[in-house]
Amino acid sequence: MTKSSEINKSICFANYRTRKAGGHKGNFGKVLIIAGSEEYPGAGIMAANGALRSGVGIVTLALPDCLKGTLSYSLSPEIILRYFPSQNGGFSFSLSQAVGLCSNYDAILVGCGWGKSQTRLEALTNISQACTTTLILDADALNLISEYEAYSILDNCKAKTIITPHVGEFTRLLRQSFLDLELQNRLKLSKEFAELHKTVIVQKSALTIVTDSEADYVCYQPNSGLAKGGSGDLLAGLIAGLVASKQCKDNLSAAVLGVHLHSQAGLLAKNVYTECGMTISDVADYLPMAWADFLNEENL
C-alpha cells in the first residue's frame, strides 16, 4: 500500500482557491443542513456553527417542526431557519417535498441528530434522490444505511457524496462486529469502501483518514478534547460549508481542509481550556483563529 499523505497546512493550501475580495454572498455558495430530532435537538446547531465558520455565503438549517420554538434562542442570527414536516419526533419527507427542499443548494448535509426509524429512512432515501449537487452523510444517516442495509442510498444517489463516520459507524457500515483499529487496516478498508461506493470518506478517530480511494490523507494530531458530543456535527457542517463555497478544487480537498481546520481549532481550545475543560462550542469559537493561521502564507 502506498504511503498516505499527512494532513498539514501546505497540503491544504495547495488545493485552496483564494477568495475574490469583491465577491458577494452568492459567489460563496449556499449550504443546507437537515438535522435534529426530539431525541437530539442540538445537533443541527453544532453543524450550522461549523458551516458558519467555513466561508460559505448562506447557511440554512432545516429542523423537524416538532422542534418549533425550542431552539431559536440559541441560534446565531446569520442562520436561516426553516421547519419541515415531522412524524414521531423526526423528519418525514415525500419525494416531492424533498425535491422542493433540495433545489438551489450547493451542498446538503443530512443525518446529524436524526435518530432512527423507518420513516426517517424513507426521508433519507427521498433526499438522496432529490439532491443533485453534493450530499454529505453523517451520524444517523450512516446508521440508517447500515441498520437497514440501504447501501443503494449511496450507490444510486445522483449527487456526489461524502460520508463522515467515526470508527463505530464505519464498523457497522462494513457489517462487522469488530474492527482492527491499526491504521493501515483502517486505511485499507476505507479505500475499498470509497472505491466500491464512489464516495469520499472522512473516517474519524484519534487519527482521522480522508480518502476517495485514489488519494488518501491522515491527520496525525490526536486530541482527546475532541472526543465529546457535537464534535462530529461541527466537522460535518464545516466540510459541507467548504464544499458549498467552492474554495477548494474538489470535494476531497474540502474534506481534507475541514479536518485540518477542525483539528487546529481543537488544539487551540485545548491549549487554553485543557482537554477536560474544553467544549466543542469552544472549538467552534477557535475556528477563525485556525483560519487566520491557515491563510498566513508566511507560515507555509
Is residue 17 assigned to a domain? yes
Position 1 scores a pLDDT of 45
Q: Which domain holds residue 231?
A: 5-293
Distant-in-sequence, close-in-space partners of 266: CB < 8 Å, separation ≥ 6: 221, 223, 225, 226, 231, 278, 283, 286
Quote the number of domains for the chain: 1
What is the arithmetic mean of pLDDT over 111-131?
A: 96
Q: pLDDT at residue 266 above 90? A: yes
Is residue 298 assigned to a domain? no
Position 181 scores a pLDDT of 86
* Lowest-confidence pick of 20-24, 47-51, 168-172: 20-24
What is the arithmetic mean of pLDDT over 239-263?
A: 98
Under a CB-based contact definition with an 8 Å cutoff, are residues 96 and 122 in contact?
no
pTM of this prediction? 0.97
Is residue 299 assigned to a domain? no
Is residue 239 assigned to a domain? yes
pLDDT tens for each residue of 92-101: 999 999 999 9
Is residue 300 assigned to a domain? no
**Amino acid, res. 70:** T
Is residue 270 assigned to a domain? yes
CATH of the domain at 163: 3.40.1190.20
Is residue 10 assigned to a domain? yes
Measuring CA to CA, how many Å separate 25 from each of 128, 158, 238, 292? 26, 26, 17, 20
pLDDT tens for each residue of 124-171: 999 999 999 999 999 999 999 999 999 999 999 999 999 999 999 999
Is residue 205 assigned to a domain? yes
Q: pLDDT at residue 105 above 80? A: yes
